[in-house]
Structure formats: structure tokens, C-alpha cells
Amino acid sequence: MSEVNVKICGLTCASDVEAVAKAGARYAGFVFFPKSPRHVSVQHARELALAAPVGLAKVALLVNADDALLDEIMESVPLDMLQLHGRESVERVAEVRARYGLPVMKAVGVASEADLPALAEYGRVADQILVDAKAPKGAALPGGNGLAFDWRLIAGRRWPCPWMLAGGLTEENVGAAIAMTGTRQVDVSSGVESAPGVKDADMIARFVAAARIEPAIPKL
């Protein structure tokens, strides 16, 4: 079975990038959302992205971004993927993908069965979907809240494109989340932080290691 890919989201300093690369994560996420404790400016993101080693995919996380912001980011920051984490429509996802020529991952919040059809809809236009916990009503952030959803809702489900599981993952629960959902990609932010916006290198290393432990298959 292929190795589980890990995305560590919300990196804010050079030591975060180093820790993520050293731990063997596949993706590094930079948050462009001013209300977030993980927000980075375009110039700062450029410096962090330039410091990332080959093989670490750099992802820009955007919330309802207009073309002006996307143009500015695309001109300065070397990126491998755009993550749309707001209320972007299916049409907007297709438009962003065509305009910038980068793979687009659309985040979809899940709290109940009623949220599942959106995964298939976005899965038809996006390159990947991020199956995340739905932010509570009135939350300041549309993601990165450290909340999990009921993984049984998506156990055994598949979509038309690759997907990643997110929401409240930690080194303690990521193994169970992988086993229950069958995901081969996981995304974490709060679960590897010592305080909001402050990543912890040891927690990152332990999270990546925990995501890579394959469940023992009993011998017949």
C-alpha cells in the first residue's frame, strides 16, 4: 500500500518549513486569511516557499479570494497547489483552475449526511477535495478549528478525484481516522500546535510518524 501523504497547514516561520520537510510531510500550507493566527503576508510566504526543499509541495490556502489577490500571490510565491477554503462555487473552482493552471483543492465542510453531495459536485471540477469538519456557526475561521466530524459519515465513500481528510486530527487519533475512512492523505493544523498559530516541531514529527503506521493485518 502507498505511504499516507501528510499536509501540515498554517506554517508561519522558516523553522516550521524545516520541521515539516524533516518529518517527511508531502505538503506545506500557507494561510492567506487575515483573521487567522496563521496568516502570512505575500512577501513572507514567498520567503518561506523559496526555503522549501524540492519534493515538499507548497499550497496556498485562500478564503473567497478575488483575482487581484490571487494574481498578487501567483506573481510572487512559487506554489504547487491552491486550496480554496471559503464559499467558492463549483464555477469559481473551475475558473481559478483554468486561470492559474495550478491544481486546485476545494475544502468542503462536513457535519452531517446533508453535506456529502457537495463532495461529489466539487470532486468533478477540482483536482482534489479536502474533506474537513464544518466550522461551527459564527466561528471566526472557516477551518483550522481543531474539530473533528463523525468519520463514519464517509467510511468507504469515494469521490471522482483524490481527497484528503482534515479536522481535529492529532497524533493520537490519526491512525483511527485513516483506518475508518480509508484515506491516503491527511491534513492537520491545530493538532501540531502548542498554541494557536505556533507549530511544534516534535508534534509535527510525531503526527507524520503516526500517520505512516500501517495497521497490522492479522495472519490467517
Residues that bind ligand LARABZUK (CB under 6 A): 9-10, 29, 31, 33, 36, 38, 61, 63, 85, 132, 141-147, 166-169, 187-191
Round to whole Å and give the CA distance between 134 and 145.
9
Q: DSSP characters for 139-165?
A: -S-SS-S-----GGGTTT---SS-EEE
Convert 75-90 into a string of H (helix), E (strand) and C (coil). Answer: HHCCCCEEEECCCCCH
CB of 214 to ligand LARABZUK, least distance (A): 22
Q: For residues 97 and 193, which CB has a smaller minimum distance to ligand LARABZUK in the complex? A: 193
Q: Minimum Å distance from CB 36 to ligand LARABZUK?
A: 3
- Catalytic residue, chosen from 13, 80, 132, 200, is 132
Q: Toward ligand LARABZUK, which CB reaches closer, 188 or 203?
A: 188
Nearer residue to ligand LARABZUK within complex by CB, 111 or 218: 111
> Among residues 9, 16, 161, 187, which one is catalytic?
9
Phi-psi region of 197 (alpha: psi -120 to 50; beta: other; left: phi over 0): left
Q: Is 13 a catalytic residue?
A: no
Q: What is the CA radius of gyration of the chain?
A: 16
- Minimum distance between the CB of residue 216 and ligand LARABZUK, rounded to whole angstroms? 27
What burial class does residue 13 get, using C-beta atoms within 10 Å of its C-beta: 0-12 exposed, 13-18 middle, 19+ buried?
Answer: middle
CB of 4 to ligand LARABZUK, least distance (A): 15
Contact 185, 149 (CB under 8 A): no
**Nearest residue (CB) to ligand LARABZUK, 98 versus 192:** 192
Q: Could you list the active site residues?
A: 9, 132
